Amino acid sequence: MTESKKIWMDGKLVEWGEANVHIMTHALHYGLGVFEGVRCYATEGGGGAVFRLAEHTDRLFASAHIVMMDIPFTKEQVNDATIEVLQANGLTEGYIRPIVFLGAGSMGLLPKDNPVKVAIAAWEWGAYLGEDGLKNGIRVRVSSYLRHHVNSSMTKAKVTGSYVNSILAKREAVASGYDEAIMLDTEGYVSEGSGENIFMVKDGVIKTTALTSVLKGITRDTVMTILADKGCEVREERFTRDELYTADEAFFTGTAAEITPIREVDGRVIGTGKPGPVTTGVQETFFKAVKGQERRYESWLHRF
């Protein structure tokens, strides 16, 4: 089981084993919670650096705003609490999970007096799609489950309940022998992975899905900035599954997944079947940046 020592809950640190909620927690029944996934990395000096903490906290508050939940803390308090949790657990490298959810109070779909609860946990989490996946690429399938329609779930909010869709897709992909799922949007175009944004490269043109049905990924933004700084333009536009089948390169981006190359889609080998030069170039710069080895990206790091 995932475990570390302390969790920050509603303003103070508690023991891991005591960070519990009541069974009548509203979010448990109906899925109204918003969350983030943040990573921190060990740097050469021995300290840690949280990657783009301010942007993750901004998105947490934006998610809460979309679903009309008032977070009873300031952004600054959430940022400070994040560092406090990392230090209390002795972590310089790991994954951080802030979550905001409706607690116990009234039941039903018009919750009135339910408290908005806030917790931040942190633990060690290695390569999300495996070390081999990170190095050599993964095999993915197009899911039979579609990504949310923009007027069904709120696709810009990282809402807990929306992830049932992701779990269904991920389970289906793994049960049928693949590593990860790619979901299409309700119009049939490529959307994103179960927990990742997607990029493809064809004849030197780099594309990523436009921000319609997909989460506004912070790693996606990071990759677009890195590519722009390398002089490469990224087109934000929709593309089809068969464009992906004939791509020279494809890769996923996400806080958990980092930059994971895709080597096969629905049994079609992508490019040479090995991570291509755009993918490996981005990976190299990304991993240097997160570890504090790229001066130009120092402003992305919250060192502690």
Site string for ligand PPE, 126-165 (x = CB under 6 A): ----------------------------------------
Per-residue CA distances from 226 to 72, 217, 252, 254 (Å): 35, 14, 15, 15
Per-residue CA distances from 139 to 91, 168, 173, 269, 281 (Å): 32, 17, 10, 9, 20
Distance between CA atoms of residues 102 and 112, nearest Å? 10
Query: Interior CA angle at 88 toward 219 and 69, to 5°?
Result: 55
Residue with tokens 């923009």: 150
| Residue 203 C-beta: closest distance to ligand PPE, Å | 26
With 0-12 / 13-18 / 19 or more C-beta atoms within 10 angstroms meaning exposed / middle / buried, residue 220 is buried
Q: Which of 33, 37, 271, 292 binds ligand PPE (CB under 6 A)?
A: 37
Listed ranges 16-24, 41-49, 108-116, 255-263: which one lies at the site for ligand PPE (CB under 6 A): 255-263
| Residue 301 C-beta: closest distance to ligand PPE, Å | 16
For the chain, the distance separating the N- and C-terminal CA atoms, rounded to the nearest angstrom, is 27
| Residue 146 C-beta: closest distance to ligand PPE, Å | 13
DSSP element (H, E) containing 64: helix 53-66
Annotated catalytic residue within 158, 170, 216, 291: 158
Q: Is 98 in the site for ligand PPE (CB under 6 A)?
A: no
| Residue 97 C-beta: closest distance to ligand PPE, Å | 8
Judge whether 12 counts as a catalytic residue: no
Query: Interior CA angle at 34 toward 85 and 240, to 5°?
Result: 120
48 or 217: CB nearest ligand PPE = 217
| Residue 124 C-beta: closest distance to ligand PPE, Å | 14
The answer to whether 50 and 38 have CB atoms below 8 angstroms apart is yes
Site for ligand PPE in 159-218 (CB under 6 A): 192, 195-197, 214-215, 217-218
| Residue 272 C-beta: closest distance to ligand PPE, Å | 26
Residue with tokens 């230090």: 87
Q: Which of 156, 211, 256, 304 binds ligand PPE (CB under 6 A)?
A: 256
- Closest Cα to residue 266, out of 179, 145, 153? 179
82 or 253: CB nearest ligand PPE = 253
The answer to whether 180 and 173 have CB atoms below 8 angstroms apart is yes
Site for ligand PPE in 215-254 (CB under 6 A): 215, 217-220, 253-254
* 289: helix, strand or coil: helix
Provide the residue type at 201 as one letter: V
The answer to whether 190 and 179 have CB atoms below 8 angstroms apart is no
37 or 111: CB nearest ligand PPE = 37
Enumerate the active-site residues: 158
Q: Contact positions toward ligand PPE, by CB under 6 A?
A: 37, 192, 195-197, 214-215, 217-220, 253-257
